Amino acid sequence: MKKEHEIPEGIPQRIVVTDTLDLHGFFPEQVKEIVQDFIENALELKLKQVKIIHGKGKSRLKFEVYQVLKNHPQIIHFSDSAPESGGWGATIVELK
């Protein structure tokens, strides 16, 4: 018998929001919505910088990430991460 306040199996009890988004395991078609939501959450939390990990691979995820970032009015600047922090497999984003 399930209690009213019991969380269904398989659903996390809480989601921790951080300054890093890891897109490994997502399809390119999902990136736009995920990145937009991530940026909006970061802005609500008043974060000034975030990191998006898209991997090096064939860069399809990176391309999709850049499509979102280049048109977002709250983005000041974005670029590859430092080599010791992911290099071209991650993007650092500066927010207004």
The closest alpha carbon to 85, from 27, 40, 33, 20, belongs to 20
Angle at alpha carbon of residue 71, lines to 89 and 25, rounded to 5° = 35
What average pLDDT does range 20-49 have in this prediction?
94
pLDDT of the residue at 57: 77
Q: Output b/e per residue, 73-91; b: 16+ Cβ within 10 A.
A: eebeebeebeeeebeebbb
Residue 53 dihedral angles phi and psi, to the nearest 5°? -95, 120
Pick the CATH number of 23-95 from 3.40.50.300, 3.30.1370.110, 3.40.50.10440, 3.40.50.150: 3.30.1370.110
- pLDDT per residue over 51-68, tens digit each? 999 998 778 999 999 999
- pLDDT per residue over 3-18, tens digit each? 555 555 655 555 667 8
Retrieve residue 53's tokens: 């990990």
